[in-house]
Amino acid sequence: MPKPAKPSVKKPVGEQPENPAKLILDGAVTDNQWNLLPLGGEEEVTAENLAPGKVILPLSVWLELRDQLQERGEDIGVWLDSDETVDLIGEYAAELPLIAAHFPAFTDGRAFTVGRLLRERYGYTGEVRAVGNFIRDQLTYLTRCGFNAFAYQGDQPLERLLESTSDFTDSYQAAVDQPLPIYRRRALA
């Protein structure tokens, strides 16, 4: 029997983040002002066919269109998939009002490093947004790593999520929220 022909499809894209209508921003529940463009749409995205308004582009798309999108300025954000490291944005970060990091699964902790490096290495002051499958119990660490926005797509009410943003009121090590680790603070005391 002849082998069936291989279907000619593009390499499948992984789990894509959703774009919920509401999110947590700076400690409050608020409307999501941004549209998130997932990877792997039917049509290739160009500067011309990109819908108006605030849009979060996949990193690869943004790197491609960056020069053509200059005049959209404050309307263009970028999201990093979990296998994309911050140095791919690097110095460009300052141009962007919003950078999102994707959790394909909540156990994939690469986004924590994304947050810290954006804030600590690149001095990024815009919105750092968690998107994808993170869970409530990660908010306290995400906050310490510099995230200030949480586009949660699980089934718990956002108000309940807020309860977990400060499970700890102190910390041992330095991070975005704490410039000195506890052992140095104690040694100074």
Partner 1 sequence: MYRYDEQDHKLVRERVAQFRGQTERYLAGELKEEEFLPLRLQNGLYVQRLAPMLRIAVPYGLMNSAQVRRLAHITRKYDKGYAHFTTRQNVQLNWPNLEDVPDILAELAEVEMHAVQTSGNCIRNTTTDQFAGVARDELVDPRPYCELIRQWSTFHPEFAFLPRKFKIAVCGADQDRAAIRAHDIGVQIVKNDKGEVGFQVLVGGGLGRTPILGVAIRDFLPETHLLSYLEAIVRVYNQLGRRDNKFKARIKILVKAMGAEEFARRVEAEWEQIKDGADELTPEAIRWAKRFFPEPEYKSIANGHGEAVLRDHAGEDKAFARWLERNTFPHRVNGYQAVTLSTKPTGIPPGDVTDRQLEAIADLADKYSFGEIRVTHEQNVVLADVEQEKLFELWQEARKNGFATPNIGTLTDMICCPGGDYCSLANAKSIPVAEAIQRKFDDLDYLYDIGDLDLNISGCMNACGHHHIGHIGILGVDKKGEEFYQVQLGGSSNEKASLGKVLGPSFSRDEMPNTIGKILDVFVENRHPDELFIDTYNRIGLQPFKERVYAKAS
From the list 145, 149, 151, 161, which residue makes contact with partner 1 (rule: CB under 8 A)? 145
Q: Which two tokens stand for residue 124?
A: 């990024």
138 binds partner 1 (CB under 8 A): yes
C-alpha 92/C-alpha 101 separation (Å) is 16
Distance of CA 104 to the CA centre of its chain: 11
Closest contact distance (angstroms) between CB of 26 and partner 1 is: 18
**Inter-residue contact 42 to 65 (CB < 8 Å):** no
Closest contact distance (angstroms) between CB of 140 and partner 1 is: 8
Q: Which of residues 5-24 bind partner 1 (CB under 8 A)?
A: none
159 binds partner 1 (CB under 8 A): no
Which CB sits closer to partner 1, 47 or 158?
Answer: 158
C-alpha 25/C-alpha 147 separation (Å) is 9
From the list 140, 153, 158, 165, which residue makes contact with partner 1 (rule: CB under 8 A)? 140
Smallest CA-to-CA distance from 172 within 144, 143, 138, 134 is with: 144
